[in-house]
A and B are shown apart, each in its own frame.
Chain A
Amino acid sequence: MKRFVVLILTTLMLVTAAAPALAARPEVKYPVTFNGHPVLFDVQPVNVNNRVFVPFRAIFEKMGADVRWDESTRTVTATRGDTTVQLVIGSTTARVNGQARTLDAAPFIQNGRTLVPLRFVSEAFGAEVTYDNATTAISIVDPNWPRRGGTLNLALWNKPAETFNPIIVDEVYADAIVSKVWDGLWRYDERVIPIPALAEAWEWDDTNTVLTFYLRKDVKFHDGTPFTAKDVIFTYKAIWHPRYLGPRNTGWDDVLGWEEYTKGLKGETPENFANGYVTPEGIEGLYALDDYTVVFKLKKPNAVFLESLAYGILDHTKYLNVPVQDFSTARDPNFMKLNGTGPFKLESYVEGQYYILTANKDYFLGAPYVDRIIYRVLDSNVAVGEMQRGTLDMVEFNATEYDAYKNLSNINIVEYPAMQYQYMGFNTVEGPTADKRVRQAIAYAINRDVIIQNIMLNHASALYTPIHPLTWAYTDEVEQYSFNPAKARELLDQAGWTVGPDGIRVKDGQRLRLRLVYPNEGNQARIRTAPVVQQMLKEVGIEVELVGYDFTTVSTKVFEEYDFDLYFIGMSLSIDPDPSDIFGRQAAETPGSFNGVRWWTPKSEDLLARAKATTDIAERTELYHEWQKHFADEMPAYFFYAPTALRATSKRLQNYQPGVQGDWWNIEEIWLSE
């Protein structure tokens, strides 16, 4: 529910932020940083008698204090270590550790937020405050808090592929490193709201088709090259180039001039185009107004467009002579030479063994508190031993490993909802499951609760369609197919599958035998689900043949060859609920995309297109609710559960706030207490 509100707010912000198309760069009054890291407020700082007032919660939490609000006495109490600060609304008397201090101006309430004097509260905790008259920037530096330095020890379960390039990277291990070395134009904060990163502000115009990014002017790549608008244009043009071989070339159809560019009609000389060279010159739908202002122009409003603009930005000066098809291969002169803008630099590595990142002290969002991150390539089976020994600061684990971690005394366990789900896809084109009644019968025959309780040990929540419970678009008011074997049998009878002599159903002399393709490596819970489903379906007269393969084979069988009746797969999702990459028509008709069930209906396409074309969150919600009902009725895929993410952390790891934004979205503000 919290996120529901959050995401509504996000969209409202986008809509209300819409200003005239040629608006100037928005002026930021009183930008506040704490130890160099920007502090963002939902109510802007206010100057009263030359004292800057800010909302108390944001500033206290940034300073690591626990905040309490007492409604009856209208008192704010902030505690950190042995320091307690108390402020009363409307009173010029404040208390620090019980001792009264007099304020020049009293805390007050504005737009529903309590504002407190910034300098007073910072200094009360021992921080130093400096005010820059020219820029109105306020810098708070606390020399004693939090602890700086130390090495964060982390693990990778596999050797990362050498795709250390933010637009090429396609697997989680390399991305763990890439995401710390490069920044995107914006990023998510703890409320899952987009906040400034390389762009200090952005705005949509009145028509919601022109998106202007105002870039920061103080950003440099690790090697000192200044970051400019050309880097942004180059990065996105590289993604759009037809010779680009990475996974990010989807969802750009709405950009003006995108199609002409991909066909080589505009944007590059024919020679450059044929050889794969990309230039930083603008095109119709992506151009620079000046060195620090970039504009994206769309054909029509697109509610999910901003989300696709979070990719790390490359230093274009290093890639002018590198064909895009060679990016991050040994033919790329930048191969294994990582040059980003991000909080960490790759210091050294030994192929297949470890990767050492050091803090970028000049990071534009403030130097990270930790000095180094060491990623070691480890077998996940020994991770619990490493945690016990204290040689790792964080590992992720599965519900099946919960007991092993539960008993360790030197760790904390963090559990949070993850934007993932596990489902069983049906072949909706060929074989017995092309009949909707058979699919529905299978759904009735599966006992989802048993799987969640006994295999996931309740570290998962139910879901019924591909709309994740964490998104605002979710509804459970759909046909849930609660466990009902009688109904399943009835539906199978209706579909003409009658019980044969050995209990397995038969139709026209053909046995109801289904091939279940699933990955027999990796996720243990998913592997254990296969025989359980086999048994459940046997109860209603369906014989299931378990066909386990490695991942690559499963992907080929499912998404390219469609060689299955049923399959298991899991998906990690982006934050916008639009499911058309997995259950849309285009994905159904393009082998290699994720619609392995090859399901689509005109009704579904219509609903999805309409939901994408509007930015009105209420309208989108309604359309997605209707789509979920339609999806549940059609049953192209049976959804088992959305797992919760489980993490074990060392006790010294502080301010670690994993969420749908990722594990390390606030990496520069994470610190080690010893």
Chain B
Amino acid sequence: MGRYLVRRLLQMIPILFGVSIVIFIIVHSTPGNPYAYMFGPKVDPAVKEKRLREMGFYDPLPIQYVRWLKQTVSGNLGYSVHSGVPVIDLLKSRIPNTLILTGSAFVLALVLAIPIGVISATRQYSWIDYTVTSFAFMGISLPSFFGALVAVYLLAVKWPVFPMNGITTPGEPFRLTDMLYHLVLPATSLALRDMAGFARYTRSSMLEILRQDYVRTARAKGLPERIVVYKHALRNGMIPIITLLGLSLPTLFGGTIIFESIFAWPGMGLLTIEAVSRRDYAILMSVNMFFALLVIIGNLIADILYAVADPRIRYA
């Protein structure tokens, strides 16, 4: 297992390297540049060119790339082209926000989805199953922000129980309860989006497992149904969910742009959008590399969790 892990981690280096080249080319070849409005319209073109030359704007892409790479490898993610703020500071302020929102939504989604999936599998074609199934299809078919807007309309406008948006009450010192209060609507509506899918996966996986011989054996030896389902069947039934979890890691950070925007929850999603619209190369590079890293790590985690869930899987 240890050697496997080392090998996988080493493999990440060339992958990240390749990814960074692709991202660098894409980012720098989008039309528009961050310097376009840095200068007033009447700045002497010679002055403008001199300034841009100093900034290295006219250097060939490979040279710019090597400069970026050197800087990044030495731990400096660069500075926002517009504000000069270190990119690392922006990431530091945005990553926790996103993590709080998506993490709680994710946990909530799983806590709800797994029992629901199991119940609708064990009672296939019952009214519970039909209800869950139709609910799940609704969840999958409707655009993800729809639920959020409905939740806002009902619980923040029509019956104003929760705040409409924001992370904390402006101007008040940070209190955990205040943040949790603000978290209810966004986390729940985000959880509902993911829950539908998770529940469906759990259901189909459980349906398959429950028909397997070892489940029949467990029942035959007289184990209570609860133990059969939750201890013996569920452990195997979780394998596809684990895959899903690993693959969800990047969406945990990037898949919430609409939610962040509706709930005024400035996280990585909004940071990305802001950086794209201003063509802030330094931020864009860091954000994209961060997402790439998450994809790779997510896959690795999924692989490791397989081994945990399924004793037949061994890595060497």
Contacts and interface: CB of A to CB of B under 8 A. Distances in A.
B29 to A, nearest CB: 12
Contacts of A382: 152, 164-165, 262, 264
A583 B260 CA distance: 41
A80 B146 CA distance: 48
A336 to B, nearest CB: 9
Interface in A515-566: 549-553, 555-557, 560-561
Contacts of A381: 149, 262
Contact of A352 (B157, B270, B276): B270
Given A377-B266, A556-B33, A249 B83 contact: no
Interface residues of A, number: 61
B224 interface: no
Contacts of A353: 166-168, 170, 264, 266
Contact of A388 (B37, B157, B261): B157
Given A161-B83, A170-B37, A594-B41, A391 B170 contact: no
Contact of B41 (A242, A352, A592): A592
Interface stretch (A36-44, A279-287, A326-334, A419-427): A326-334
B31 to A, nearest CB: 5
A376 B170 contact: yes
Interface stretch (B42-50, B106-114, B188-196, B226-234): B42-50
B4 interface: no
A209 to B, nearest CB: 21
B42 A242 contact: no
Interface string B156-169: 11001000111110
Contacts of B149: 381
Contacts of B166: 353-354, 376
Most chain A CB inside 10 Å of its own CB: which residue of B94, B165, B278? B165
Given A356-B170, A385-B156, A242 B44 contact: yes
Contact of A250 (B30, B42, B160): B42
Contacts of B170: 350, 353-354, 356, 374, 376
A161 B82 contact: yes
A162 B85 contact: yes
A352 B39 contact: no
A379 interface: yes
A317 B166 CA distance: 37
Contacts of A552: 31-32, 36, 277-279
Contacts of B278: 161, 552
B38 A560 contact: no
Nearest to A551: B277
B79 interface: yes
B124 to A, nearest CB: 40
B14 interface: no
A479 B210 CA distance: 80
Interface in A315-370: 325-326, 328-331, 335, 347-348, 350-354, 356
Nearest to A155: B264
B40 interface: yes
Nearest to B273: A158
Contact of A553 (B32, B42, B85): B32
B149 to A, nearest CB: 8
Contacts, number: 141
Interface string A215-253: 000000000000000000000000000111111111000
A517 to B, nearest CB: 11
B171 A374 contact: yes
A590 B43 CA distance: 9
A252 to B, nearest CB: 9
A423 to B, nearest CB: 18
Contacts of B42: 249-250, 586, 590, 593
Contact of A247 (B30, B37, B164): B37
B178 interface: no
Contacts of A2: none
Contacts of A326: 84
B255 interface: no
The secondary-structure label for the interface of chain B is: loop
Contacts of A561: 31
A557 B36 CA distance: 11
Contact of B157 (A246, A250, A389): A389
Most chain A CB inside 10 Å of its own CB: which residue of B33, B84, B278? B84
A633 interface: no
A148 interface: no
A192 to B, nearest CB: 26
Most chain A CB inside 10 Å of its own CB: which residue of B84, B86, B264? B264
The contact size tier of chain B is 35 or more
A386 interface: yes
B77 to A, nearest CB: 13
B93 interface: yes
Contacts of B40: 244, 246-250
A330 B86 contact: yes
Contacts of B279: 552
B27 to A, nearest CB: 13
A581 interface: yes
A62 interface: no
B92 to A, nearest CB: 11
B153 interface: yes
B31 A553 contact: yes
Most chain A CB inside 10 Å of its own CB: which residue of B33, B85, B171, B270? B171
A389 B160 contact: yes
B38 A245 contact: yes
Contact of A249 (B43, B82, B94, B266): B43
Contacts of B84: 326, 329-331, 335
B87 to A, nearest CB: 11
Nearest to A325: B51
Contacts of B51: 243, 245, 325
Contacts of B271: 352
Given A158-B274, A552-B279, A385 B153 contact: yes
Contacts of A630: none
A513 interface: no
Contacts of A244: 40
A386 B164 contact: yes
Most chain B CB inside 10 Å of its own CB: which residue of A382, A389, A561? A382
Contacts of A587: 41
Contacts of A553: 30-32
A354 B170 CA distance: 6
A550 B36 CA distance: 14
Contact of A377 (B33, B39, B152, B264): B264
A249 to B, nearest CB: 4
Nearest to A592: B41
A159 interface: yes
B85 A330 contact: yes
B81 to A, nearest CB: 10
Interface string B270-311: 110010111100000000000000000000000000000000
A389 B156 contact: yes
A557 B83 CA distance: 24
Contacts of B167: 350, 353
Contacts of B266: 159, 351-353, 377
Contacts of B83: 161-163, 328-330, 335
Given A243-B51, A350-B168, 12 more contacts: A170-B37, A248-B40, A249-B42, A329-B83, A330-B84, A352-B266, A353-B167, A356-B170, A376-B166, A382-B262, A556-B32, A592-B36
20 contacts: A242-B43, A242-B44, A243-B51, A249-B43, A335-B84, A351-B266, A378-B165, A378-B264, A382-B152, A382-B164, A382-B165, A386-B164, A388-B157, A389-B156, A389-B160, A551-B277, A556-B32, A556-B33, A557-B31, A590-B45
A-B pairs, 3 with minimum CB distance: A329-B84, A352-B266, A593-B41
Interface of A: 158-159, 161-163, 170, 242-250, 262, 325-326, 328-331, 335, 347-348, 350-354, 356, 372, 374, 376-379, 381-382, 385-386, 388-389, 391, 549-553, 555-557, 560-561, 581, 586-587, 590, 592-594
